[in-house]
Amino acid sequence: MNLELLQNLTQAFGPSGYESEIRDVIRHAVTPLVDEVRVDPLGSLVAIKKGAGGGKRILLAAHMDEIGVMVTHVDKQGYLRFTRMGGVSPLTCIGGRVRFANGTLGVIYVEHREDRSKPPTLDQLFIDVGATGPDDAPVGVGETGVFARPLELQGDRLISKTLDDRIGCYVLISMLKELPPVKHDLFFVFSVQEEITLSGARTAAYTIDPDMAIAIDVTSTGDTPKALPMAVSLGKGPAIKVKDAGMVSHPEVRQLLITAAQKAGVPYQMEILQGGSTDAAAMQLVRAGVPSGCVSIPCRYVHSPSEMVAAPDVEHTVQLLLEAVRSG
């Protein structure tokens, strides 16, 4: 794996709606590999690789935004109150660190509670940025921050913040580096705002008007202690989505992905996700409808500051998708 690339992707700042820094990182990586790069009005990056002709218009999307926080109030002692940007849980916040766009680092902690038998709520948390009052607070209301955690490799496990979905962005860039000539016109979309509205993929798909769309994202696993039963495990291959809370995958796209995995000789799993969805849910609904599916990278501890994926699953996802666009 290209750990330098993944380091650059995971550590770039990019909460939903504020993706300019991560977009610049991705633009630098993909520009030499494609025929055209553009940024759409909402901020999604679209990289186009033209086919030999006689093929389809295939959209492959990975979202570049990450979960984070937004300051809602600075109290008289300089502590920040905040709201979530995406699926942030109070349970994974306490003791964590967040970094704001201007480089300010803050520590999340919880106020004293008389009843500690219940989990804290978001409004009981605060961020300490070392200020003594509102006048010397280095960030203010409306400013956004993201979790601060490094990328680590332990064995074949990758651990970092924002593997959801920078690992999907890594897969698309890796595809472009290995892509042979194909007949299809391929549109690689690095979408904005997936964590809050799915609006980036929706607007990009409307403009592209593809014949088929495939999202590349992460999914939860059922292989941790007392996990919700789920037939997806870390290290057993990419997961081909059947259904999630927002969509049912188009049967032809799902079968294309299964066949591609078999032809490529890579292990794969079938995914039914009971909560959450992906860009595919939005892309399938544009214009008259777009046959859509999703390839998911198994990920433990999704939407926490320390997400975990298996490097072989990532590499197998690249090989599956390369076969899919060759034969699709």
Given phi > 0 = left and psi -120 to 50 = alpha, else beta, which region is 269? beta
Q: What span, in angstroms and rounded, lies between the C-alpha atoms of 22 and 20?
A: 6
User: What is the residue-level pLDDT of the chain in tens, covering all 328 positions?
Assistant: 999 999 999 999 999 999 999 999 999 999 999 999 999 999 999 999 999 988 999 999 999 999 999 999 999 999 999 999 999 999 999 999 999 999 999 999 999 988 888 889 999 999 999 999 999 999 999 999 999 999 999 999 999 999 999 999 999 999 999 999 999 999 999 999 999 999 999 999 999 999 999 999 999 999 999 999 999 999 999 999 999 999 999 999 999 999 999 999 999 999 999 999 999 999 999 999 999 999 999 999 999 999 999 999 999 999 999 999 998 7
Buried b vs exposed e over 170-191: b needs ≥16 C-beta within 10 Å? bbbbbbbeebeebebbbbbbbb
How does the average pLDDT of the chain come out, rounded?
Answer: 96
How far apart are the two ends of the chain, measured CA to CA in Å? 26
Residue intervals of the chain classified under CATH 3.40.630.10 are 3-66+161-327
- Are 44 and 203 in contact by the 8 Å Cβ rule? The answer is yes
Percent helix, strand, coil in the chain, to 5, is 30, 30, 45
Class of the CATH domain delimited by 3-66+161-327: alpha beta
Phi, psi at residue 40, to the nearest 5°? -80, 170
Q: 248 exposed, middle or buried (CB, 10 Å; 0-12, 13-18, 19+)? A: middle
- Whether cis (ω within 30° of 0) applies to the bond prior to 165 is yes
Say which DSSP state 300 is in.
B
Q: What is the pLDDT of residue 116?
A: 86
Q: Does domain 68-147 have CATH number 2.40.30.40?
A: yes
Active site residues: 194
- Are 219 and 296 in contact by the 8 Å Cβ rule? The answer is yes
Residue intervals of the chain classified under CATH 2.40.30.40 are 68-147
The H or E element spanning position 307 is strand 307-310
